[in-house]
Amino acid sequence: MNLFTLDELMVIEASRYITNGDVVMVGTGLPMVASLLALKSHAPDMCYVVETGPVAPDVIPTPTSVADARVMHRSVTNGSLIGALGGILHRGLADVGFIGGAQIDQFANVNSTVIGNYSNPKVRLPGSGGANDIASHAKKILIITRHELRRFPLYCDYITSPGYIDGPEGRKNAGIPVPYPDIHVVTNLSVMSINKTSGKLTLSKLMPGISKETVLSNTSFNPDSGIPLQEVAPASEQELKTLRDEVDPKGIYIKRV
């Protein structure tokens, strides 16, 4: 039996939502790790596009941000933010947009701007970067974060990047180019996916050993769909080896067992 942490499985499970041949627009942090894992395992023909401009780089482990030179190594083109977002994302060429966030609410809206009141916040966060563009233009949105009650409020304190905004027609009413994207939120406790009828997140999978009650007690809204839940497939030996040896060998993002 392979021993793995739930943080490791969170990254592995998120990578599984990328398919071979996808053009993936990658945001900073854990999205870089999960996307690189997909590239080095089951999706060797995906196109890894960093929001700051590098396209199809040979990433050197382990970059700490999208401005790290290690995401620029031997890239097909080492362009600009405008080139990546305008030339690829805004033209509708991104199959997957991969972001993180400090808060994710019931409509899959993401906050990476402020905690508390915007004018007098408790915490001021880095802001959007390319996350708003990614969430607005990608055909599928992947969000990865560790699951804590404070990260999953009923409503975000500020919407940096749109999910379904306020309901099933929220994106369409706001004029967002991709009105009905697939959205999956992968955490160390569960996977939640958007229900396009309600425009809200619902539980679809539980991490091994995690109960539905644990997820609900760490979420300020009720994502329970009432249907039987799947369990996230355990990490395979090859997935763990690739993550540990090739993607994050120094454990910068993911601590090992």
Look at residue 229 in the predicted model and tell me its pLDDT. Answer: 94
Residue 6 has pLDDT above 60, yes or no: yes
**CA 8, CA 144: separation in Å to the nearest integer?**
12
Residue 251 has pLDDT above 80, yes or no: yes
pLDDT by residue (tens digit) across 45-96? 999 999 999 999 999 999 999 999 999 999 999 989 999 999 999 999 999 9
- Can you tell me the mean pLDDT for 2-24? 96
Residue 226 has pLDDT above 90, yes or no: no
Torsion, CA 163, CA 165, CA 166, CA 167, rounded to 10: -50
**Superfamily of structural domain 6-247:** Glutaconate Coenzyme A-transferase (3.40.1080.10)
Percent of the chain past pLDDT 90, that is, above it, reads 94
Residue 256 has pLDDT above 90, yes or no: no
Residue 257 has pLDDT above 90, yes or no: no
Of 13, 51, 148, 231, which one is the catalytic site residue? 51
Rounded to whole angstroms, what are the CA distances from 89 to 13, 96, 120, 243?
24, 10, 33, 27
Residue 225 has pLDDT above 90, yes or no: no
Look at residue 1 in the predicted model and tell me its pLDDT. Answer: 56
- Tracing tokens 């425009």 back to the chain, one arrives at 199
Domain boundaries, the chain: 6-247
Q: Which two tokens stand for residue 107?
A: 């409509």
| Residue 239 annotated among the catalytic residues of the structure | no
CA 223 to chain centre: 18
pLDDT by residue (tens digit) across 164-210? 999 999 999 999 999 999 999 999 999 999 999 999 999 999 999 99
Count Cα atoms within 13 angstroms, Cβ side, for 188.
Answer: 15
